[in-house]
Structure 1
Amino acid sequence: MPFDSERLHSALGRRHLLALGAASLAAHALPANAGDAWPTRPIRIVAGQAPGSSNDSTARAFADYASQKLGVPVVVENKPGGGGMIAAENVARSAPDGYTLLISLHSQPAQAPVLLKKPPIDTDRDLLPIAAMGVGPVVGVVNKDFPARTLEEVIAYSKKKPVNIGNYSIGSGWQLMLAQLAKDTGGQFNVVNYKGTGAMLMDLYAGTIDMGAGSLAGVGAGLDKGAIRPVVITVGERSGRLPGIPRWVDAGFKGPAYEDLAECNMLFAPAGTPPEIARRLADLMVSSVSESPRIKTVREALHEEGPILTGEPLRQFIDRTWPSYRRMTRELNLKVD
């Protein structure tokens, strides 16, 4: 999807430039060799989602690669919940020295200022975006025994009886899509929030809920076993892994909710992290795609082929997507405590 250059000077873009400027000023206050000396002790990566998600898989694969390249242990801690803010706050309030990092679904810090009544941090100012890896196609799936077998049938069913739908993250693009779909079709969708894809899929397999969504890394095993059936590709392009499954636009649904809400796993550091450390981390994420067998395995499981976003392309991505998430959250009047 082409970027809109006029949006690069949006208020969000300016705030990120201010945050990057603050990081640079903080770095000048540190010893000149602060970046060169890093790292000298273990690094902690906090994952915003529970095990069984693309977020967790990406964090652990990157931690393994970073440990090998940097020569220090890199450990992963899962801190799901709070719309991703438990993990984000833990990292944002840590020392900006490169030893505490966050890997989060980018929709969570994008959503926090408008979705949460009292966000614990300012995600625009307190976190420094470093790199982002896509999650490949995100697919909406139904339980194998659910009577509707296609998106059209799901919508028809929802007009007669509520569909219970699992959501892997409060305020996710999936949740916004469902809210918009209800407005556009008159369907009834009861959203059940989970702390990650894994817990949601357990209930979906058991038939406790009717429908859910996730990356192919999360839902792939269930598809292979026939426990769930795909009905729509909610994010990304058509995939050979999902023959005949339409995207929203193929099914006739257009607009920001169906076309602009890309998802990715984004690496953050606390604001004020020295630029040299941030650059080294970004370079590690980029090189991991070609050098790390575990990262390659994760990307193959996701069917993800897009580039790693860093620097200016990353800022452009944030400037395009975060305002869309926030605008739609306000328009749909979504709010959680």
Structure 2
Amino acid sequence: MHPKLLGACAFALCMTSAPGASDAVAADAPYPNRPITFVLSAAPGGASDSVTRMLAKDVGTRLGQPIVVENKPGAGGIIATNAVAKALPDGYTILLTFPQAVLNNRFLYSKLPYDPLRDLTFITEVSGGVMVMTVASGLPVTNIRSLLAYGDKHGLTFANWGPGSYAHLVGAYLGKSKKIDVTPVSYKGEAPMLQDLAGGNVNVAVSSLNTALPFLQSGRVRAIGVTGTQRLSALPDVPTLAEQGLSEREYEMTGLVLMMAPAGTPAQILLRLEKETRAAIDNPKFRARLQMLGMYAIGGGAAHARKHYDEMYPVQQRLVEISGAKLD
């Protein structure tokens, strides 16, 4: 038995005749018998927060218990991820996070307070979000070809939402692979990044559709490509990067939302969470909401999530190495 669970069970035995003992022995009752917490490594108000709250409501209904969403943003997902990695593995503390926290950070930091594969276990991938490459509307660029031509002559200032972010890594990779002088410019989030792009202070950025859409609709920025393998229904005239010759795996990256639990969580609880989460993901209303946010449903379960993780591992390692990013 996991040492944290062992301690909890020992405590429960000591308290069986004490007031409130039913709470102490809750671990022995059918799962779930009390509220569950989804810990999200993002701030309130964004697309991932919206998705997580919608998912929590549906999964909670299916499980017969309320699910509380606790936002723990910061440090590239380390704060939230570490909190769940250290939590009791009883199925009541679940992590919703992104590849940076459990994959990229392995290369960005020389030491992490957790080991993603030792301290956590996969439940499922929830959703993916295609990223949009945009340029300032005043820049004489309409597609990847003209962006590369402009960059070859003038260099590029490539905005990102923080060192080590996908936007930072893909900008560095573009510069290296196409032999273009690319200068990274970091911001504290996508919104201020796009504000500066709209003002013409930087040349190009990569962001989520949800954040970019108001800027695109106002005409202040222009979309020149999307990541992933297919076009966005919201931007049907904008080709993928692959269609424009950027076909390497490094350009396919999407805004992935992962669901994980502390290692040692009983198998039957993991299977129950996977089953109910996948059912919620298959809900047409959930999928329609994702589409409105420029996202798509994944599901697939634990085995699929681990397989995808293993496939992404060498890609992200190359991106970090090429960028030279270190966050220690």
Query: Is 1:270 the equivalent of 2:254?
Result: no
Q: What amino acid is aligned across from residue 311 of structure 2 in structure 1?
A: R
**Structure 1 portions without partners, runs of 5+:** 1-21
Tell me the residue number matched to 2:272.
Answer: 280
Question: Which of 153, 159, 170 lines up with 2:146 in the alignment?
Answer: 153
Question: Which of 314, 322, 327 lines up with 2:305 in the alignment?
Answer: 314
Alpha-carbon offset, residue 266 of structure 1? 0.4
Alpha-carbon offset, residue 309 of structure 1? 2.2
Alpha-carbon offset, residue 112 of structure 1? 1.3
Greater relative contact order (Cα < 8 A, sep 6+)? 1
CA contact (8 A) 1:63 1:76 kept: yes
CA contact (8 A) 1:53 1:197 kept: no
Question: Which of 308, 314, 330 lines up with 2:321 in the alignment?
Answer: 330
Alpha-carbon offset, residue 305 of structure 1? 4.6
Relative to structure 1, the CA distance from residue 191 to residue 86 in structure 2 (aligned partners, 3 Å threshold; closer, same or farther) is: farther
Tell me the residue number matched to 1:93.
Answer: 86
Tell me the residue number matched to 1:10.
Answer: none
Tell me the residue number matched to 1:9.
Answer: none
Question: Which of 238, 251, 254 lines up with 2:247 in the alignment?
Answer: 254
Relative to structure 1, the CA distance from residue 93 to residue 201 in structure 2 (aligned partners, 3 Å threshold; closer, same or farther) is: farther
Relative to structure 1, the CA distance from residue 87 to residue 119 in structure 2 (aligned partners, 3 Å threshold; closer, same or farther) is: same
CA contact (8 A) 1:289 1:296 kept: yes
Alpha-carbon offset, residue 252 of structure 1? 1.9
* Separation in structure 2 between the aligned mates of residue 217 and residue 143 of structure 1, nearest angstrom: 18
For residues 28-47 of structure 1, the aligned pairs below 5 Å read: 34=27, 37-47=30-40
Relative to structure 1, the CA distance from residue 311 to residue 35 in structure 2 (aligned partners, 3 Å threshold; closer, same or farther) is: farther
CA contact (8 A) 1:141 1:228 kept: yes
Relative to structure 1, the CA distance from residue 155 to residue 80 in structure 2 (aligned partners, 3 Å threshold; closer, same or farther) is: farther
Alpha-carbon offset, residue 304 of structure 1? 4.2
Query: Is 1:112 the equivalent of 2:123?
Result: no
Relative to structure 1, the CA distance from residue 201 to residue 51 in structure 2 (aligned partners, 3 Å threshold; closer, same or farther) is: farther
* Separation in structure 2 between the aligned mates of residue 227 and residue 51 of structure 1, nearest angstrom: 26
Task: Please state whether the residue corresponding to 2:133 is helix, strand or coil.
Answer: strand
* Separation in structure 1 between the aligned mates of residue 163 and residue 277 of structure 2, nearest angstrom: 27
Tell me the residue number matched to 2:69.
Answer: 76
* Separation in structure 1 between the aligned mates of residue 201 and residue 301 of structure 2, nearest angstrom: 40
Deviations 1:30-68 (A, max 9, x none): 989948623333322222223454322221211222233
| Segment drifting more, 193-202 vs 85-94 | 193-202
Query: Which has the greater radius of gyration?
Result: 2
Deviations 1:119-146 (A, max 9, x none): 2211121121111123242211123344
Task: Please state whether the residue corresponding to 1:77 is helix, strand or coil.
Answer: strand
Q: What amino acid is aligned across from residue 67 of structure 1 in structure 2?
A: G
User: Pairwise CA RMSD of aligned residues?
Assistant: 3.1
Q: What amino acid is aligned across from residue 277 of structure 1 in structure 2?
A: I
For residues 108-147 of structure 1, the aligned pairs below 5 Å read: 108-147=101-140
Alpha-carbon offset, residue 103 of structure 1? 1.1
Q: What amino acid is aligned across from residue 214 of structure 2 in structure 1?
A: A
Alpha-carbon offset, residue 209 of structure 1? 4.0
CA contact (8 A) 1:89 1:120 kept: yes
Relative to structure 1, the CA distance from residue 314 to residue 161 in structure 2 (aligned partners, 3 Å threshold; closer, same or farther) is: same
TM-score (norm 2): 0.81
CA contact (8 A) 2:135 2:203 kept: yes
**Structure 2 portions without partners, runs of 5+:** 10-24
Tell me the residue number matched to 1:300.
Answer: 291
Alpha-carbon offset, residue 194 of structure 1? 4.5
Count, aligned residues: 313
Q: What amino acid is aligned across from residue 316 of structure 2 in structure 1?
A: Y
CA contact (8 A) 2:4 2:88 kept: no
* Separation in structure 2 between the aligned mates of residue 35 and residue 168 of structure 1, nearest angstrom: 45
TM-score (norm 1): 0.79
CA contact (8 A) 2:76 2:100 kept: no
| Percent identity of equivalent pairs | 30
CA contact (8 A) 2:208 2:255 kept: no
Relative to structure 1, the CA distance from residue 244 to residue 141 in structure 2 (aligned partners, 3 Å threshold; closer, same or farther) is: same
CA contact (8 A) 1:137 1:302 kept: no
* Separation in structure 2 between the aligned mates of residue 117 and residue 310 of structure 1, nearest angstrom: 30
For residues 222-237 of structure 1, the aligned pairs below 5 Å read: 222-237=215-230
